[in-house]
Chain A
Amino acid sequence: MRILLEKLLINYPFFFAIILFVMGAFTVLTRSNLFKKLIGINIMEGGIFLFFVAAGNIKGGAVPILVDNPGVTYINPLTSALMLTGIVVSVSVTAFALALIVRIYKIYGTTDARRIAEMRKEVKERCQQS
């Protein structure tokens, strides 16, 4: 247990990334409002981005923009470049999900996932009776 804690203290950015990810996952699971679920997904993405960028960091390293000083150690540019791709995908997903939520609101009149499920159930039962 103590070794675990010491290693966590060394790897603290990864620890915060886990906390962010879990916060997002808990939001997605427990909130029934679709907007809040979407915000939870975005928080999870933030955790993943933090994890990747922290994995590419070097303590005391410089930003990967080339300068004439030969003694500089640069941090890993690859993880930052990959996360740029990730941010674009996350923006696309968010935009499409928001459009879907707007459409759902126009049809059902609510953005609450549980109430939508109840309404669908009622309609199904009424269809079976008639």
Chain B
Amino acid sequence: MKIRNLIFLLIILLAIFTMLIAVAELPPYGSPDNPVHNMVTERYINKALEETGVNNIVTAIVLDYRAYDTLFETIVLFTAAIAVYVTLKKAKGSEGGE
């Protein structure tokens, strides 16, 4: 078991090294000229109040610009709830048979 953990540690160290190199190549944190802040964000910030009438821009994105995303997100949540219900219910019913 100890040898297995050592191998995992080696793999993890390799992963850390790779990700560290990737992070060092990222644009500097907190700078306003980062490629993340492109025209999409500008549009959201400048036009959100006019197009949706909401002050909170995150709410405007979640509930107006990307409303379908939120709709299907609730479907994901609903499916998970049903899956949990079915799993636990079957466990109750088949307990005598095991």
Contact = CB atoms under 8 A, between A and B. Distances in A.
A124 interface: no
B80 A96 contact: yes
The winner among B5, B31, B58 for most chain A CB atoms within 10 A is B58
Given A81-B66, A92-B79, A55 B36 contact: yes
A45 to B, nearest CB: 15
A117 interface: no
A39 interface: no
B91 to A, nearest CB: 5
Interface residues of A, number: 52
* Secondary structure type dominating chain B contacts: helix
Contacts of A14: 23, 26, 29
Given A76-B36, A92-B80, A66 B49 contact: yes
Nearest to A32: B1
Nearest to A64: B57
Contact of B62 (A12, A30, A84, A91): A84
B73 interface: yes
B78 to A, nearest CB: 9
A13 B80 contact: no
B66 to A, nearest CB: 7
Contact of B40 (A10, A26, A78, A106): A78
Which 8 A-B residue pairings sit nearest by Cβ, starting from the closest?
A: A59-B30, A92-B80, A64-B57, A7-B24, A77-B57, A81-B61, A99-B84, A99-B87
Interface of B: 4-5, 8-9, 11-12, 15-16, 19-21, 23-26, 28-32, 34, 36-37, 40-41, 44-45, 48-49, 55-58, 60-62, 66, 69-70, 73, 76-77, 79-81, 83-84, 87-88, 90-91, 95, 98
